[in-house]
Every structure is written in structure tokens, then in C-alpha cells.
Amino acid sequence: MEKELIEVDGRSGGQCLRTALALSSVTKKPCLVFNIRANRPKKGLAQQHLTGLNTLAKISDSKVKGNVLGAERIVFYPKSIKEGNYGVNIGTAGSITLLLQTLTLPLIFSPKKPSFRIFGGTDVPFSPSFNYSKEVFYQFISFLGAKFSFNLKKRGYYPKGKGLISFSKISSKLPLKPFYKVEQDKLNFIKIFAHSTGYPKEASENLSSLTKKLLQEKFPLVDLDEETEFNESIDEKGAGITLIAKFKDGLRTGSSSLQEKNKPPKKVAVQAVEFLLNEINSLKPIDSHLADQIIPFMALAKGHSTFETSALTYHTLNNISVAEKFLDVKFEVKGKITEPAEISVEGIGFKGQSE
């Protein structure tokens, strides 16, 4: 007898689609995602979403209906993850870090360990930068029991997206551990990642210098570390800053800003520093961009989890809605949209489906 489809309204954006696909693969519950990105100027599956969907299907021999560019409705029938070495090419500057949100959960709950080389955008607008994902998100889920190898081979920027990363699971201890943190710990130090491709070497050095000066003014007693990266290129051009604040308890928060046309380097530095300052001054342990990403992990972990975040976002609320459709959980949210909030859930202690 065919399983009933879990129906997810994807009008709010790609996040609902990615989370639905990930949880469908983990739970082996088929899903229908409709109204995909209906609230966006360009509706339907973009290249990044389509590539994530097709990649998840390929590594698991899952059946898909509607996997074409621009589709506003897809049906996904999940199967088990396979071993293999996979090359994935988004084909645009679509975000690699967002694509990986489709793959990370399924890999955690599978005994298999496929490896990936993924081409696309590593540092592009409206998505986590490579360094933020590695230093904040993947660092966080390592506390829960899942460790990944996530390495940068080449930066990729908008509009060409010629970046390359390697990605694979190292280990996952199931069920995942719950997480409780409602206060921000002592700030240990801040690391500056300044990078440029296709600009003179001085571009990334200038970004780092400007950022360091601003940070010294805002955090005179905090140690600073710098990593400056310069890449020659005739067919790719981009630059940016990612800042990672590291706290005594091992948690991290971060911010990013990218060089754009008519955007001077000083503004790039100011944007990154101001966002980081706002997160640190909130005194909350989980930043607003990390909060939505960790929702399904909390639901699948064993036992009670509670965290406080600097700002409640619609992304977080949407991910809660999707998680509650797939799993027998009920989140408690204390706080108003765009304001600090406390989020709690009793996780189900999921250990994975039999292969």
C-alpha cells in the first residue's frame, strides 16, 4: 500500500522545500511540495533547488515527479542513501551551502558515507557563506553528534559561480544529543576571513585591515585573528568578509558581507561588523541565521532542547511548521517575530530507518 503524501506549502521560499526533502529522506515519508516559491518574484524551482532535489534522488534512487526548472509542484518518494563518489554541478552561482541543507540530514541518518565534489557559488548573496557554514553551522551540529568534512577548493561568486567544495560525512552518533543554551557565554576571540578573486592582492588585505580596525574600536579587549585569501582569476571576480565570533563554550556566531558593484570596501567591512555587533549585543547564544537551520536537528534529537535566539524569523517559523508535519513533535516558541525568542521541543530520539 502506497504511503500517504506529506503535503508542504512551499510558497514562502526554498527553505521549506529543502527541509521537506531532507525530512522526507530521513523518515522515508513521501512528500508533495506545492506552491514552490509562489511568494517570490521568480516562482518555482531555481537551479540550486533543482540540483539539490536531483542530487538527493540520485544518491538514493528516489523517485521524483516534477523535477524541472521552474516547477511549482514536486512529489518525492524517498529511498535509502547509497555509497559513491558524486560530482555535482549547480551550473550557476546557486549556493552550495543551501544545496547542502538538502543533503546533510539524510547523510547523518544513513550508515552510508557518499562523498561529493560540488561546483557552484560558495559566497553569494542571500545564503550562508562557506566560512559561516563551516565554522558556525557544521561546528554546531558536531556538538549534537554529527561530524562532516567540508573543504573549500575554490571560491565561487555571483554571477558565474565557479566555486568548488568537497563534502562528506565523517561520523554520526545516533540519536543526536539534545541542546540547551539560553545565555551567551564569554566572547573569546573573533576571526576575520577576508577573500578576493580576480582583484589585485591588496583587495582582500584592504578588506581585512578595514575590518580589523572597526573590530578593535568595538571590541578593544577581544583577541582578533585574520585569514586573508587571494586568488588570481581571469574568469571569476568577487570579494568579501566573513566574521566568526567564538565563545568560551565552543558556540559561534557569524556575519558576512560581499563586495558588489558601487559598494566601497569600507561599506563591506561596516556591514559585516555591524551585523556581528548586533548578534553579540543580543546576549543570545544562537544567531538569527543559525536558528532556522537547527530546527529539524532539535526535533530529531533525543530529549528536551531549548535555545534562545537573537531574533525570531519567518524562516525559523516555517521550518518549525515543516518539522511538525513530518515528526510527532510540537515546538514551543516564546517571543515575537524579529525579536529575541526562546524555542523548545521534546525531540523524538530518531535513530534512522532500517536499510
Q: For the chain, how big is the Rg over CA atoms in Å?
A: 20
CA distances from 51 to 33, 134, 201 (A): 16, 21, 33
- In whole angstroms, give the CA distance from residue 145 to residue 302: 11
Structure letter (DSSP) for residue 338: T
Q: What is the amino acid identity at position 184?
A: Q
Residue 131's contacts (CB-CB under 8 Å, 6 or more residues apart) are 193, 242, 244, 254, 256
Strand (E) or helix (H) holding 76: strand 73-77
Q: Are strands 73-77 and 31-34 parallel, antiparallel or unpaired?
A: antiparallel
6-9 sheet: strands from edge to edge: 6-9, 31-34, 73-77, 63-65
**137 three-state secondary structure:** helix
Q: Are strands 187-197 and 180-181 parallel, antiparallel or unpaired?
A: unpaired
- In whole angstroms, give the CA distance from residue 33 to residue 157: 29
Q: Are strands 302-309 and 332-334 parallel, antiparallel or unpaired?
A: unpaired
- In whole angstroms, give the CA distance from residue 328 to residue 333: 17
Active site residue 49: no
| Active-site choice (49, 195, 289, 315) | 315
Q: What is the set of active-site residues?
A: 315
